[in-house]
Amino acid sequence: MSGLLRLDGLTAGYGGATALDGVSLTLVPGEAVALLGANGAGKTTLMKAILGLVPAAGRVAFDGTDLAGVPTERRVRLGLGYVPEGRRVFPGMSVRDNLEVASFAAAARRRDRMERVFALFPQLRVKAADTAWRLSGGQQQMLAIGRALMGEPRLLLLDEPSLGLSPKLAAEVFAAVRAIADSGTAVLVAEQSTARALAVAHRVALLRLGTLLHDGPAEALPPDALRAAFLGVPGGVPGGDPLADARPGG
Interface with another protein (CB under 8 A): 51, 53, 71-73, 76-77, 82, 84, 88, 90-93, 97, 100-102, 104, 131, 133, 147-148, 151
C-beta of 171: minimal distance to another protein in Å?
Answer: 26
| Rounded alpha-carbon distances, angstroms, from residue 65 to 48, 89, 149 | 18, 29, 21
Strand-pairing partners, residue 11, are: 57
The CB-of-107 to another protein minimum distance in angstroms stands at 9
For residue 55, the minimal CB distance to another protein (Å) is 12
Amino acid 215 reads: D
The answer to whether residues 154 and 79 touch, using CB atoms and an 8 Å cutoff, is yes
Question: For another protein, which is the closer residue by CB, 44 or 194?
Answer: 44
Among candidate residues 214, 235, 234, the one with its CA nearest the CA of residue 36 = 214
Spell out the residues 6+ positions from residue 220 whose beta carbon is closer than 8 angstroms to its own: none
Q: How far is the CB of 51 from another protein (least distance, A)?
A: 6
Q: Which is nearer to another protein, 87 or 227 (CB)?
A: 87
CA distance 186 to 6: 13
Please report how close the Cβ of residue 190 comes to another protein at its closest, in angstroms.
15
- Contact indicator for 130, 94 with CB cutoff of 8 Å: yes
Smallest distance from another protein to CB 9, Å: 24
Q: Which is nearer to another protein, 37 or 146 (CB)?
A: 146
Distance between CA 227 and CA 242 in Å, rounded? 9
Whole-number minimum distance, CB 139 to another protein, in Å?
16
Q: Which H or E run contains 122?
A: helix 122-126
Compute the distance between CA of residue 184 and CA of residue 29 in angstroms, rounded to an integer: 7
Given the complex with another protein, which of 87 and 196 has the nearer CB atom? 87
The nearer residue to another protein, 48 or 203, going by C-beta atoms, is: 48
Nearest to another protein of 88, 250 (CB atom):
88
Identify which of residues 28 and 78 has a Cβ nearer to another protein in the complex: 78
Inter-residue contact 246 to 194 (CB < 8 Å):
yes
Cα 172 from Cα 166, distance rounded (Å): 10
